[in-house]
Structure 1
Amino acid sequence: MNFLRFAARRLAEMAATLLGASFVIFGAMYLAPGNPASFLLSGRSASPDALKAINDQYHLDDPFAVQYLRWLGRVLQGDFGRSITYRTDVSRLLADRLPSTLLLVAMALVLVVVVGLLLGRLGAVRGGAADATILVTTTFAVGTPSFVAAVLLQGLFAVKLGWFPTSGTGDGLGDMLWHLTLPAVALALYLIGMLARVTRAAMLEILTQEHVTVARSRGMTERQVISRHVFRNALGTVLTTGGLIVSTLLICTVLVESAFSVGGIGQLLELSTTTKDFPTVQAISLIMVGLFMTVNLVVDLLHPLVDPRVTLGSRRSAV
């Protein structure tokens, strides 16, 4: 029952936050410099009647409150409006492009979790030269922005060696995975270094605690101590970075998709921002906020299962 009450409360908070975020997103677009009508006219002069027709079609002259409430009502029905740039429904644009972005983010997330946890655990347990090598490697990874990693990987493995495609998403699942391999690595590199360092620091702290010494004195093997008492307890701290990891992936995918010409919502967001395509920018921004909040909700619900010392509604601070 406590779990259900906590989940219901977090869902209510999520809905309220999304409502506030929708107001901020719509307001930011409303106050942004420039006018969508100027893009529709492609720089050509227009008669007052033609300009009025455009403003009436897209309701650009309505008061802010009227525009916001009309937009919010459509969004609640799954209608994000009509793209000014592409002259089609925003929902259709998102349906065509969202799968590529979700697959790219999922591939990058798998790389971050598997490689980051493995390197962090290896560095904490092995120590010595292995730990030093991992520290140097993760320092390099953390210091490499995603767009720099994208350029380097594309130049070496796609252009020079020809092992991977230089751009696009391919056709079919297998081809898509092949096309998105380099973008996923570029997207994950920074976060792999960050997660490895967080995991290493958390495990080193737990290794010095009394219950680890007691477990060793009872005759448990070192592997059992690491798995049951060190690594598992460290996962609680690592889990608190889940929201940060996903938010970083969503933000950096804009740069990576542009570098590799991946037809996802990241590249669509960049193009829509440039052309003042307000409905598309608003829809993508709201979706990204919703995804980020969903991940935070999942992290909150999983945290007590990973670390029994944490109760619902509380979190340990990350190392």
Structure 2
Amino acid sequence: MILGEYSTPEAIANMRHTLGLDLPLWEQFFRFVKTLFTQGDTGNSIIAGTSTRELIAERAPVTLLLIGMACVLAVLVALLLAVLAATRKDKLADHLIRVIPTITLGMPVFWVGLLLILLFSVRLHWFPVGGIGEGWTGTLYSLTLPAITVAFSQIPTLVRSLRAQMLEVLESDFVVTLKAAGIPSRVILFKHVLRNSALPTLMLLGVNISYLIGGTLVVEQVFGIKGIGSLLFSSIAKRDFPVIQGIALYCAVSVVIISLLIEIISWWLDPRTRGKQ
């Protein structure tokens, strides 16, 4: 693939020697692992000929910003809907909030992206169809619709989990005691109920973070964003295996790091776990 279709046997032999493919398999694996741990690299791109680490680092900021925006939007919308549903149990708002997110849960993320493009970009002209704008303002503006698309896949499960936890806490004895003491309902809801209900939902977000990252990579392709997702799909089409390996590696590392951060936040939210840990 590097030398082209009409390469000579001598050129192929020289390239195999350059890439170390003529070495024993165990030695190739040892060199690969050594490079992985010492340089954080999976080799050079077959197509571009440059380090996969450099290629991924060049595209990573846009993808990380998109993941962060989608995560913030998902948490804020889920928080708003869950509070609204829990405080209006078995009323019209509660039923709508429980039914509508369940419907959106069955929609593929790329299809949701196409619908949002048709509505907000093609018809209403509120957002660009794709690409990245210039400057911080332009970047945030152009990533808003993709972030909403990715957040759609996370909101339903977060709403259901947080609503169920809030209803359980609202019926607990300490909430009844706080109400009897004359503490305002708003203070009880936001200071006590939400804090005690947030932990399971936060853990659920940590479990689903891999789906969030995977959805982001697909959405980048739909909106024509030059991030890690577009690099992944182009590498798959061109069979650029080192780049594919590098993206898989860094995505896995990102999931581990984010899960660790969520564990730390959970430890901070729930003082009862500090003594155990």
TM-score by length of 2: 0.92
**Residue equivalent to 1:157:** 120
Q: Distance in 2 between matches of 1:240 and 1:159?
A: 38
- The SS at the match of 2:214 is helix
Q: Of the candidates 16, 30, 33, which is equivalent to residue 69 of structure 1?
A: 30
Structure 1 residue 69 displacement after superposition: 2.0
- Given candidates 30, 35, 58, the residue that maps to 2:19 is 58
| 121, 127, 130: which one aligns with 2:83 | 121
Q: Deviations over 1:196-255 (max 9, x none)?
A: 111111111112222222222222222222223311100111121232232111111121
Q: 2:139 aligns with which of 142, 158, 176?
A: 176
What amino acid does structure 1 have at the position aligned with 2:11? A
Q: How many residues are matched?
A: 275
Asked if 1:95 is matched to 2:57, the reply is yes
Per-residue deviation at 1:46?
3.4
Bigger drift between 110-119 and 50-59 goes to 50-59
| Other-structure match for 1:130 | 93
Q: % of aligned pairs identical?
A: 36
Provide the rounded CA distance (Å) in 2 between the counterparts of 1:300 and 1:252: 22
User: What displacement does 1:89 show?
Assistant: 2.0
1:256 aligned onto 2:219: yes
On the 8 A contact 1:203/1:234 being kept in 2, the answer is: yes
Residues 129 and 294 of structure 1: CA distance in aligned 2, closer, same or farther (over 3 Å): same
Work out whether 1:237 is the aligned partner of 2:197. Answer: no
Deviation at 1:145, TM superposition (A): 2.0
Structure 1 residue 267 displacement after superposition: 1.5
Q: Distance in 1 between matches of 2:75 and 2:241?
A: 35
Shift of 1:41: 4.6
What's the counterpart of residue 148 of structure 2?
185
Q: How far 1:103 sits from its partner (Å)?
A: 0.9
**Conservation of the 8 A alpha-carbon contact between 2:158 and 2:205:** no
CA RMSD of aligned residues (A): 1.9
* Contact kept? 1:97, 1:263, Cα under 8 Å: yes
AA partner of residue 102 (structure 1)? L
Offset at 1:45? 4.2
User: After the TM superposition, which residues 1-319 of structure 1 pair with which residues of structure 2 at under 5 Å, given as runs?
Assistant: 39-42=1-4, 44-78=5-39, 80=41, 81-127=43-89, 128-311=91-274
Q: Per the alignment, do residues 312 and 112 of structure 1 end up closer, same or farther by CA in structure 2, a change over 3 Å counting?
A: farther
1:304: Cα distance to partner? Answer: 2.3
Q: Give the structure 2 partner of residue 27 of structure 1.
A: none
Structure 1: stretches of 5+ with no match in the other structure = 1-38, 315-319
Letter matched to residue 115 of structure 1: V
Over 6 Å off, 4+ runs:
none
Task: Point out where structure 2 has 5 or more consecutive residues left out of the alignment.
Answer: none
